[in-house]
């Protein structure tokens, strides 16, 4: 499942990020494998996502969110 | 190691993420002594100041906010260049500003700064906010873990700032906290050796920067570090192919965050979630698809009203002031060439600059409040989808909207757009938003040839339809140009939408005032220079050679006026104006271009008008007034001018020259053409090149010619002539 498919209000853990320069930026913003993310809100018409991540709120475009693979939360991770 | 202690002159650099309050700290420390300059060749500005403290001189520079030192954007490249000494000399001390509420992410940049192995201190800002959130930071533990001093500050009330200086004087050298795999560590060491051999800065950070910027390093940079790059490539088998995932880069990024998590586990405890429920509620409304858009629409309505209408009285004061100065100069200086040059050329030129200040101040006041409060990020969120569908970014909205009032502050406002590409496109299409200066032109034409038209479908007034049509013409041209630009020249794929929602906070008066002062100062000194020179040149072209009426011509005018019963002096004055203009360089140019503008339906009189309106679009009206002999003081409502235009008969055909179709063609031309020397000047300043403004000037005028041509020719073919 990718980040853009996560329902509003649900949390998940980042598994991996697709290749390419955008992916590097996403990682530098804190989307490291294992990081916990939660969808706060979704913009209308496939708009950007508001994601809670490492204590911050980040807006990620829908296209960029497609490159982030997510999985179930690992109970050990508390980032 | 306390390298800073022994020096008398210390170079200090402030570095940090956007939204850390870094600029607030800088403003508090430097106040009015801050100055703004250009980085050569690019549009980012350099903010620096020199202050004295206890017998020591500090050269402080506030680097652009950035998320990483890896050069993906101009801001990041500048920050890296300043820190490694490529631009000025390297700073002696780095002050890394982080927000206590966002350590989990903001320490990322701090770790990169530590890897540079230079003296560093950390300014931990927003301690008050952290306290409110229930986040406890053990400053000593954090300090221990990072290996450098951490100074808590609260920028908004100034506490802790004095201690920053003391700490900066005794700053410890940072060291990398990265735990690298043995192979990677070997690769890094190898690159460091190569850098040392090339006499370049060779810290771990410099090596890593090179290795992870390989894809995005520019050609010149790569050339300078050729040996080190080769070493990096040999050792790590990195290929400069942007499509392949660069494993080393990502391993390093992940390693840094692991380190951050480890540090924070010891140094930070947070009892509650770091955002209050109030902020979430506000966001729920402001980013709601319906309510959010509504709130935004209201905010924009107020902003537009302020820039468009509330600026009028202020503009009036400026104009009155300029006139008063001109009048007093005429009293002091003897009349003649010098007086004319000053009163008709220089002073209006300066006035031409000052007259924009009210709108610039109002617009930037609004933008500062929107940005500093944190609202702009929410706006970008709401608008992104919409703006992207037309090829623009969410942040383009405010600059483009304010360009409907006037493109000068609109183009200046484009600097708030973070991505270079979007900024350039926005600057390029801003002049196509029908600015308020076009309205007198539309009013003049509509008043002359469309005022008696029957309403369409019985209810829609023709003037209303036409004006709306002109606005849409401008917008359509803007879409077209944006598409062309994106396809042709501006490289790079669409930048990702990736931005942080800052906390809501009250803007500081001092920070807002700083922005206004900087923008006004830069406008007056840099853009103003060009505006004044161009104004004087244009005035000269429209005045010289200053040929007077012959005595026989004067006599016949007097005669004519006496028989008609009109005022002789006024008639003479108008005739003089007309004669001078037609025989001036600009006038002759107008006659010269007649063959080119004839297919558009224009004659030489309109030609002169087009040239004169380069000063400012609304000057078309007074120029036409001069040319048609009704006086340069004619305005767009003047019935005399209308009559003069309508009764102008083409001697060849015996038909009126100024028909409704010609009027339409003229309006279409004005909707698209770039005809404002102030816009030209401000585009030059904001793009830091002559290429952009010249290309826009030629391109838009060519496009306007085509549109006008199509309008006139098609209209004639359809029999509307």
- For B331-343, how does the pLDDT look when each residue is reduced to its tens digit (9 = 90+)? 888 877 788 888 8
Contact A19 B244 (CB under 8 A): yes
Residue predicted with more confidence, B632 or B152: B152
The first and second tokens of residue B543, run together, are 């005045």
For A44, other C-beta atoms within 10 Å of its C-beta total: 13
**Per-residue confidence (pLDDT) for residue B666, from 0 to 100:** 93
Confidence of residue B231 (pLDDT cuts 50, 70, 90): low
**Per-residue confidence (pLDDT) for residue B74, from 0 to 100:** 76
Tell me, yes or no, if B213 comes closer than 8 A to chain A by beta carbon.
Answer: no
Distance CA B155, CA B173 (A): 25
Distance CA B604, CA B588 (A): 9
- The crossing angle, in degrees rounded to 10, of helices B204-212 and B74-84 is 150
Distance CA B566, CA B75 (A): 66
Say which residues have a Cβ less than 8 Å from residue B339's Cβ, sequence separation at least 6.
B329, B330, B333
Decide the pairing of beta strands B56-62 and A49-53: unpaired
pLDDT(B415) > 50: yes
Distance CA B95, CA B87 (A): 18
Of the residues A42, A43, A45, A62, the best mutation for testing chain B's interface (the one with the most B CB atoms within 10 Å of its CB) is A43
Q: Are B13 and B95 in contact (CB under 8 A)?
A: yes
Contact A32 B253 (CB under 8 A): yes
**If interface means Cβ-Cβ distance under 8 Å, which residues of chain A face chain B?**
17, 19-30, 32-33, 35, 40-41, 43-48, 50, 53-61, 63-64, 79
The stretch A26-47 carries a mean pLDDT of: 89
pLDDT in tens, B90-108: 899 999 999 998 899 999 9
The first and second tokens of residue B199, run together, are 């006499």
Contact A30 B257 (CB under 8 A): yes
Contact B215 A56 (CB under 8 A): no
Fill in the DSSP letter of residue A5: G
Residue burial B40-53, b: 16+ Cβ < 10 Å; e: rest: eeebbebbbbebee
pLDDT(B711) > 50: yes
Contact B499 A57 (CB under 8 A): no
The first and second tokens of residue B330, run together, are 């005429």
Lowest mean pLDDT among B237-241, B482-486, B492-496: B237-241
Contact B498 A64 (CB under 8 A): yes
**Per-residue confidence (pLDDT) for residue B223, from 0 to 100:** 55
Contact A43 B384 (CB under 8 A): yes
Q: Evaluate if pTM is beyond 0.95.
A: no
Q: Which residue on chain A is closest to B281 by alpha carbon?
A: A40
Distance CA B102, CA B394 (A): 25
pLDDT(A23) > 70: yes
Q: Hey, CA dihedral for A51, B257, A2, B70, is it positive or negative? A: positive
**Per-residue confidence (pLDDT) for residue B689, from 0 to 100:** 87
ipTM over 0.85: yes
From the list B250, B382, B497, which residue is nearest A61 (CB)? Answer: B497
The stretch B1-15 carries a mean pLDDT of: 73
* Closest C-alpha to A52, from B506, B378, B280, B260: B280
The stretch B400-429 carries a mean pLDDT of: 89
Q: Are B398 and B474 in contact (CB under 8 A)?
A: no
From the list B216, B289, B500, which residue is nearest A56 (CB)? Answer: B500
Chain A partners within 8 Å of B244 (Cβ): 19
Q: Which residue has the tokens 């940072």?
A: B174
Chain A partners within 8 Å of B289 (Cβ): 43-44
How far, in Å, are B122, B127, B137, B142 from residue B171 at the CA level? 10, 21, 21, 15
pLDDT in tens, B493-512: 567 788 889 888 888 898 99
* Closest C-alpha to A60, from A46, A71, A74, A78: A46
Contact B215 A21 (CB under 8 A): yes
Q: Are B82 and B11 in contact (CB under 8 A)?
A: no
pLDDT in tens, B246-291: 577 888 899 999 999 999 988 887 755 556 667 888 888 898 888 9
Contact B499 A28 (CB under 8 A): no
Chain B partners within 8 Å of A23 (Cβ): 245, 250
E strand or H helix at A58 = strand A56-60
Confidence of residue B705 (pLDDT cuts 50, 70, 90): very high
Q: Which residue on chain B is closest to A78 by alpha carbon?
A: B261
Residue B650 burial class via C-beta count within 10 angstroms: exposed 0-12, middle 13-18, buried 19 and up: exposed
pLDDT(B239) > 50: no
Contact A32 B257 (CB under 8 A): yes
pLDDT(B114) > 70: yes
Residue B332 burial class via C-beta count within 10 angstroms: exposed 0-12, middle 13-18, buried 19 and up: exposed
Say which residues have a Cβ less than 8 Å from residue B166's Cβ, sequence separation at least 6.
none
Residue burial B100-134, b: 16+ Cβ < 10 Å; e: rest: bbbbbbbbbbbbbbbbbbbbbbbbbbbbbbbeebe
What average pLDDT is seen over chain B? 85
pLDDT in tens, A51-78: 999 888 999 988 889 999 998 876 544 4
- The crossing angle, in degrees rounded to 10, of helices B277-286 and B375-389 is 30
Chain A partners within 8 Å of B381 (Cβ): 43, 47-48, 50, 59
Distance CA B555, CA B563 (A): 12
């Amino acid at each position: 499942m990718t980040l853009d498919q996560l329902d509003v209000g649900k949390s998940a853990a980042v598994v991996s990020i697709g290749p390419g320069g955008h992916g590097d930026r996403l990682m530098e913003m804190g989307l490291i494998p294992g990081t916990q993310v939660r969808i706060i809100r979704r913009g209308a018409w496939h708009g950007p996502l508001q994601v809670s991540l490492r204590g911050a709120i980040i807006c990620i475009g829908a296209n960029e969110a497609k490159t982030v693979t997510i999985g179930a939360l690992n109970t050990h991770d508390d980032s | 190691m306390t390298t800073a202690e022994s020096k008398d002159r210390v170079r200090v650099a402030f570095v940090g993420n956007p939204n850390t309050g870094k600029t607030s700290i800088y403003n508090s420390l430097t106040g009015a002594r801050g100055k703004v300059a250009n980085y050569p060749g690019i549009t980012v500005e350099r903010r620096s100041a020199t202050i004295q403290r206890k017998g020591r001189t500090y050269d402080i520079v506030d680097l652009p906010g950035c998320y990483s030192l890896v050069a993906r954007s101009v801001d990041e490249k500048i920050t890296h260049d300043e820190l490694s000494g490529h631009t000025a000399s390297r700073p002696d001390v780095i002050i890394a500003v982080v927000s206590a509420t966002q350590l989990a992410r903001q320490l990322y940049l701090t770790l990169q700064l530590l890897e540079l192995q230079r003296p560093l201190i950390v300014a931990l800002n927003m301690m008050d906010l952290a306290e409110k959130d229930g986040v406890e930071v053990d400053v000593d533990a954090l300090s221990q873990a990072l290996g450098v001093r951490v100074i808590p500050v609260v920028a908004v009330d100034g506490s802790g700032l004095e201690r920053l200086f003391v700490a900066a004087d005794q700053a410890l050298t940072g060291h990398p906290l990265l735990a690298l795999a043995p192979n990677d560590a070997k690769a890094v060491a190898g690159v460091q050796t190569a850098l040392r051999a090339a006499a370049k800065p060779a810290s771990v950070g410099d090596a890593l920067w090179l290795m992870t910027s390989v894809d995005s390093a520019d050609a010149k940079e790569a050339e300078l570090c050729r040996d080190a790059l080769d070493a990096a490539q040999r050792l790590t088998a990195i290929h400069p192919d942007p499509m392949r995932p660069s494993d080393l880069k990502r391993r390093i990024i992940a390693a840094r965050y692991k380190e951050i998590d480890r540090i924070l586990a010891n140094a930070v405890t947070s009892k509650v979630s770091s955002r209050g429920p109030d902020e979430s509620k506000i966001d729920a409304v402001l980013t709601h698809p319906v309510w959010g858009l509504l709130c935004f629409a209201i905010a924009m309505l107020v902003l537009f009203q302020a820039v468009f209408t509330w600026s009028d009285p202020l503009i009036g004061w400026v104009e009155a002031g300029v006139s008063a100065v001109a009048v007093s100069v005429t009293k002091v200086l003897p009349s003649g060439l010098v007086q004319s040059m000053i009163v008709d050329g220089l002073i209006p030129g300066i006035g031409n600059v000052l007259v924009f200040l009210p709108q610039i101040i109002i617009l930037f006041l609004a933008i500062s409040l929107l940005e500093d409060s944190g609202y702009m990020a929410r706006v970008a969120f709401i608008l992104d989808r919409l703006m992207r569908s037309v090829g623009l970014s969410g942040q383009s909205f405010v600059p483009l909207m304010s360009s409907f009032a006037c493109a000068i502050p609109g183009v200046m406002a484009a600097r708030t757009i973070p991505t270079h590409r979007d900024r350039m496109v926005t600057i390029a299409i801003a002049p196509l938003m029908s600015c308020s200066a076009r309205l007198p032109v539309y009013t003049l034409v509509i008043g002359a040839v469309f005022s008696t038209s029957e309403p369409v479908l019985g209810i829609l007034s023709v003037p209303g339809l036409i004006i709306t049509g002109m606005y849409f013409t401008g917008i359509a041209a803007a879409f077209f140009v944006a598409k062309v630009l994106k396809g042709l020249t501006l490289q790079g794929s669409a930048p990702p939408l990736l931005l942080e929602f800052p906390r809501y906070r009250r803007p500081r008066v001092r920070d807002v005032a700083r922005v206004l002062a900087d923008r006004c100062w830069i406008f007056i000194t840099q853009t103003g220079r060009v505006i004044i020179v161009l104004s004087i040149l244009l005035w000269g072209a429209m005045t010289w050679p200053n040929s007077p009426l012959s005595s026989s011509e004067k006599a016949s005018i007097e005669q004519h006026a006496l028989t008609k019963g009109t005022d002789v002096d006024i008639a003479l004055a108008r005739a003089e104006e007309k004669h001078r203009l037609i025989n001036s360089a600009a006038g002759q140019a107008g006659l010269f271009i007649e063959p080119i503008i004839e297919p558009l339906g224009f004659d030489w009189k309109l030609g002169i008008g087009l040239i004169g309106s380069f000063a400012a679009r609304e000057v078309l009206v007074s120029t036409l007034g001069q040319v048609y002999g009704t006086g340069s003081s004619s305005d767009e409502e003047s019935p005399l001018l209308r009559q003069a235009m309508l009764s102008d008969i083409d001697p060849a055909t015996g038909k009126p020259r100024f028909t409704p179709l010609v009027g339409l063609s003229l309006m279409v031309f004005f909707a698209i053409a770039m005809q404002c020397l102030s816009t030209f000047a401000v585009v030059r300043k904001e793009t830091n090149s002559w290429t952009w403004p010249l290309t826009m000037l030629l391109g838009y005028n060519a496009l306007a010619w085509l549109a006008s041509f199509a309008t006139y020719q098609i209209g004639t073919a359809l029999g509307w002539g």
